[in-house]
């Protein structure tokens, strides 16, 4: 009976979690997620069962309640394959993409000592005609609602059960309980909130826009990496960007990928440097924060990170530079 009461009390506590306050569980508390929550990992132009890696995939609805069915792709998780940096790489994929889409990048991060989570999140706007009443503040409010589940935006509807903070908190608690020797608990503070100061944020396309904004909401993060991003979501709207610690921001894009619009957003963010061409320069690229390529491709928007669209030579040097703290 004591055990049953404990499980019931934990579920009640989970139901009261609020994303807007970054609330989570204390590390020693069991979030009620059984080991069976782990699901088989499927690859996208990549073999996630490749020897030397130990990918874990966890379906959001197995560890949380009220999960939107359209946004229930498994989270993709990897522990470090070398001496741990004790830093979490949180990756957000682009619109409607499965988190497994960029796993070759996750492998390089894992090889470099990162803990890696490619989070399943609400990676599209959830209402029709989201740009109907867009203003210069809409992009910021959109990302904020996706992050914390509070009604900030007219561009989307994301509730407390489906926001990034809640999904990440539940996943970290699950990993900490289920794989106690892998060090996942260090990314939660003793009060159960997320330890943003131990994280690198990365994302591509829409995910890159979100991490760029989240980096301003959570300035303690170590670094922000944007692939083929950030971009405006609404045509004809120039967004106002909050104050950014630009020394922490790094971006990589293709010159055939709406490059003029990309440059406009970088300028709006506060960047003044001339982008560095990785096709003609070598790491460390003059310590540049803005990197470009003009490699031959039919998928300029995807070729910087998506497994199925990478150039034959890959991006090991570029990714290594971006991941080096």
Query: What domains can be seen in the chain, in order of their start residue?
Result: 2-323 (3.40.50)
Provide the pLDDT for residue 128: 84
- CB of 26 within 8 A of CB of 163? no
Provide the pLDDT for residue 205: 97
Instruction: Name, in order, each residue with C-beta under 8 angstroms of 240's C-beta and a sequence gap of 6 or more.
Output: 136, 137, 140, 268
Provide the pLDDT for residue 40: 80
Tell which residue, 132, 155, 137, has the closest CA to residue 238. 137
- CB of 52 within 8 A of CB of 220? no
Q: Across the 325 residues of the chain, what is the mean pLDDT of every consecutive 10-residue run?
A: 36 42 37 55 93 94 97 97 98 97 98 98 91 94 97 95 98 96 97 97 98 98 98 92 96 97 96 98 98 97 98 97 97
Q: How many CB atoms lie within 10 A of CB 125?
A: 20
- CB of 257 within 8 A of CB of 228? yes
3-state secondary structure at position 39: strand
């Amino acid at each position: 009976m004591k055990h049953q009461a404990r499980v019931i009390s934990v579920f009640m506590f989970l139901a009261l979690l609020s994303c807007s306050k970054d609330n989570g569980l204390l590390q020693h508390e069991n979030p009620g997620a059984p080991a069976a929550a782990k699901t088989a990992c499927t690859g996208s132009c990549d073999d996630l069962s490749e020897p030397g890696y130990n990918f874990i995939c966890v379906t959001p609805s197995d560890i949380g309640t009220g999960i939107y069915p359209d946004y229930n792709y498994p989270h993709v998780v990897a522990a470090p394959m070398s001496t741990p940096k004790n830093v979490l790489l949180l990756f957000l994929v682009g619109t409607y993409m499965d988190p497994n889409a960029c796993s070759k990048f996750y492998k390089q991060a894992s090889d470099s000592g990162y803990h890696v989570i490619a989070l399943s999140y609400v990676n599209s706007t959830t209402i029709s005609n989201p740009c109907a009443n867009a203003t210069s503040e809409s992009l910021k409010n959109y990302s904020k609602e996706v992050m914390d589940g509070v009604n900030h935006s007219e561009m989307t509807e994301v509730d407390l059960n489906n926001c990034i903070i809640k999904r990440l908190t539940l996943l970290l608690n699950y990993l900490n309980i289920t794989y106690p020797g892998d060090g996942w608990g260090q990314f939660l503070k003793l009060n159960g909130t997320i330890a943003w100061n131990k994280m690198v944020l990365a994302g591509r396309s829409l995910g890159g826009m979100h991490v760029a904004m989240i980096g301003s909401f959570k300035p303690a993060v170590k670094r922000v990496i944007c692939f083929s991003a950030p971009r405006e979501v609404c045509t004809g709207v120039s967004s106002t960007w909050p104050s950014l610690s630009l020394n922490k921001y790094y971006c990589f894009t293709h010159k055939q990928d709406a490059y003029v619009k990309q440059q406009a957003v970088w300028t709006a963010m506060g960047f003044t440097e001339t982008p560095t061409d990785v096709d003609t320069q070598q790491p460390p690229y003059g310590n540049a924060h803005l990197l470009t390529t003009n490699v031959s491709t039919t998928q300029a928007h995807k070729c910087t990170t998506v497994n199925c669209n990478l150039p034959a030579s890959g991006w090991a040097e570029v990714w290594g530079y971006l991941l080096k703290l």
